[in-house]
């Protein structure tokens, strides 16, 4: 199993979101077994946060292999399915940051507003590190709500023929081609106003 350091190397820095993805992925692999060498495990992620980088490294699920599926719901929910059995685990993050004082809220607001003074940056780093440690050290019951089940895995990744857009000349996967006035176009060219 990959280590937290492996994930930090891939992502570029350590942060609470990455730690959540690490813990989610460890939990999923504990239930479903080894990471995916090919498409044996499918991950369905409902956000595009730092946590998804951890999911990729830990589980072997990637966009390129077609076994990482993004649903843009903005939820900290992750579903993992083992092929061909359909065994699945759905993990919802329930962890809450500790309450903050009015002064801490004010410092976060200053940081969000662009203040990078030594005091504000030191506070932000200190709080992020405290959140990170809390996540890495917490019991799973403090972090997640878990549901097990069986659900059909999405079809394995398909390889499509590439077609050149009649307007820009760039290659586009055949299912994404649009037709306008008998011309085969990529989506941006199809949506471009005034294009004939």
Q: List the domain boundaries for the chain.
A: 4-95+138-150, 162-191
| Average pLDDT score, the chain | 93
Q: Would you say residue 151 has pLDDT above 90?
A: no
Q: Cα dihedral sign for 163, 166, 169, 172?
A: negative
**What architecture is the 162-191 domain classified under in CATH?**
2-Layer Sandwich (3.30)
Instruction: Give the residue, 196 or 162, on which the prediction is more confident.
Output: 162
Kindly indicate the confidence band of residue 90, based on its pLDDT and cuts at 50, 70 and 90.
very high
List pLDDT tens digits, range 60-72.
999 999 999 999 9
Q: Would you say residue 196 has pLDDT above 60?
A: no
Task: Assign domain 4-95+138-150 to a CATH class.
Answer: alpha beta
């Amino acid at each position: 199993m990959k280590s937290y350091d492996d994930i930090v190397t891939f992502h570029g820095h350590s942060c609470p979101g990455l730690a959540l993805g690490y813990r989610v992925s460890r939990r999923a692999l504990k239930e479903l077994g080894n990471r995916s060498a090919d498409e044996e495990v499918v991950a369905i992620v409902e956000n595009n946060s730092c946590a998804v980088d951890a999911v990729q490294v830990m589980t072997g699920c990637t966009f390129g292999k077609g076994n990482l599926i993004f649903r843009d719901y903005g939820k900290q929910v992750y579903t993992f399915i083992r092929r061909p059995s359909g065994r699945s685990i759905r993990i919802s993050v329930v962890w809450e940051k500790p309450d903050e004082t009015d002064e801490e809220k004010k410092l976060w607001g200053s940081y969000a507003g662009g203040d990078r003074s030594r005091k504000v940056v030191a506070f932000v780093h200190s709080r992020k590190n405290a959140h990170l440690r809390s996540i890495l050290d917490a019991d799973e019951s403090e972090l997640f709500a878990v549901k097990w089940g069986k659900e059909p895995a999405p079809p394995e990744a398909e390889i499509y023929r590439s077609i050149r857009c009649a307007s820009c000349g760039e290659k586009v996967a055949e299912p994404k081609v649009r037709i306008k006035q008998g011309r085969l176009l990529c989506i941006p060219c199809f949506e471009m106003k005034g294009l004939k």
